[in-house]
Structure 1
């Protein structure tokens, strides 16, 4: 059974520092929500408040409309996957997965439940394996199976994939989301990995300085950030200041923003063409540096009226000599993705 979760005006001060400042969240039942932000933004503290490990100074934590702030962690029907997995090395895989069933006096068939959970995480037949013999990816699966075994109302994930190498981490992102959908449990994750948050989440919540900077779908957060902080934090970005005339050199047309605001253009919204084919949404430039990155290239280009180079991300196929440093090019952009934000952290 999945439930909705609500944080209402949560504030917390530790060692005279305001760690959380009136944090409010509404998390629908069965959804996958990720808390994302730089170190010290308050995301892990928020997870600890949800878990009951920290008690806020102000505000309420509600599960399906019921206040749970006074309940200890063990009474909140949570499944938790810790960053280091916290697997008991002296136990077998099956004993690890069965541990919360014993602690919570599970009334059903424990052996069958363990087997069911291991099948879910693709570790069927591993019941008698010692935890010390498992790989990092297998340990992560055991930790997930153990967290899900007592049928929690809410699943909390604390940097669940950070200990894995890049290739395995990317593979596990898809698998973890698939398992969450199959089980249907309300899931709240904390990560510093932006690609992980964007690829796995129904909703991303970006925190900054103990407050929520913005929340929404992954596409909305990346393509339509409302603040300069978010535009810079989520991936690479090109920012152009709007002048008193309403333009932002080298962008050609008049822009909807006000003077002093910043125009946001993501690197992949630029493309490269032969010099001379300049249209409405294009301007001349010169290739300064090219970095081959597998499926794409990261290009830095010098353009008129701008001190810093712009960043372009493009497929390298078919561009040939256009990607040579020193080559004069036309930079084309997709105006439908161009929008403005206010400087600093306040929404435009």
Structure 2
């Protein structure tokens, strides 16, 4: 990655969970879209939690945007995490849920405009007053994504946020994230088991197995022409439709 700014630089980052030792090394260029895939329990979500600061490693190095962040609180890191559970408050409107990405208090006019702009960016203009129960599953995830946008952090971590959606909605949401990445210059890491959403996305990929990054490359290289038998076994030799 010579000459390219690194948004994420992980060097021999060690984390221990019960009897399992995980050891990660990964360099992510600014503006990249990285798909993390691999067996359940391999360490994908743990890797995101280490980057976000929700878990602490026992050793190694972690830099975000060129700054060492080990020991830095999650709120002080340039990261937003979007989970599978959208974490919307059912008694609040879409706009109010998005506003929590700024702060829990009363918004000034400029902040209200930020909320409206974020909802418009994800295709929810006009739905600001609806509560989560009045929205579809895809719309609720759009609200959660809009809340991530108002936080205005350059690194977006997605932990299977669209797993509960159908294939068409999933492709739509991944496409939306990719468009927002390009418009806002975001760096995106997304954990996914549903790889059907990837065609058309100019993504990189990383295969995680046994607490390690076992292979990296373009999504095409890893999913269409698996370089390791472990990847072929995981995919069932069926590529991104698996």
Question: Would the TM-score normalized by the shorter structure come out above 0.5?
Answer: yes
Residues 243-272 of structure 1 deviation map (CA, whole Å, 9 limit, x = unaligned):
xxxxxxxxxxxxxxxxxxxxxxx8xxxxxx
1:6 is aligned to: 9
Say which one has the larger Rg. 1
- Runs of at least 4 residues off by over 3 Å: 103-108, 196-201
- Name the CA shift for 1:53/1:198 in 2 (closer, same or farther; >3 Å): farther
Aligned residues: 235
SS at match of 2:27: strand
1:40 aligns with 41
1:43-84, Cα deviation, whole Å (9 max, x unpaired): 111011011010011111101221101111111132221101
- 1:16 deviates by 2.4
Q: Which structure's residues are more often helix, by fraction?
A: 2
Q: 1:73 is matched with which residue?
A: 74
In structure 1, the gaps of 5 or more residues are 238-265, 267-348
- The alpha-carbon deviation at position 233 of structure 1 amounts to 2.1
Q: Within 2, Cα distance between the matches of 1:220 and 1:107? A: 48
Q: Give the number of the structure with larger relative contact order, counting CA–CA contacts within 8 Å between residues 6 or more apart.
A: 2
SS of alignment partner, residue 102 of structure 1:
coil
Say whether the 8 Å CA contact 2:180–2:186 is kept in structure 1. no
Would the alpha carbon gap of residues 62 and 106 (structure 1) be closer, same or farther in structure 2, given more than 3 Å must change? farther
Tell me how large the CA RMSD over aligned residues is. Answer: 2.2
Whole-Å separation in 2 of the counterparts to 1:34 and 1:44: 12
Given that 2:167 and 2:197 are in contact with CA atoms closer than 8 Å, whether structure 1 keeps it comes out as no
Q: Displacement of 1:201 after TM fit?
A: 5.4
Structure 2, gaps ≥5 residues long: none
- Deviation of 1:213 (Å): 1.5
Q: Secondary structure at the match of 2:84?
A: coil
Change (3 A) 1:34 1:89: same
C-alpha separation between the residues in 1 aligned to 2:68 and 2:109? 28
Q: Give the aligned partner of residue 51 of structure 2.
A: 50
1:16 aligns with 2:30: no
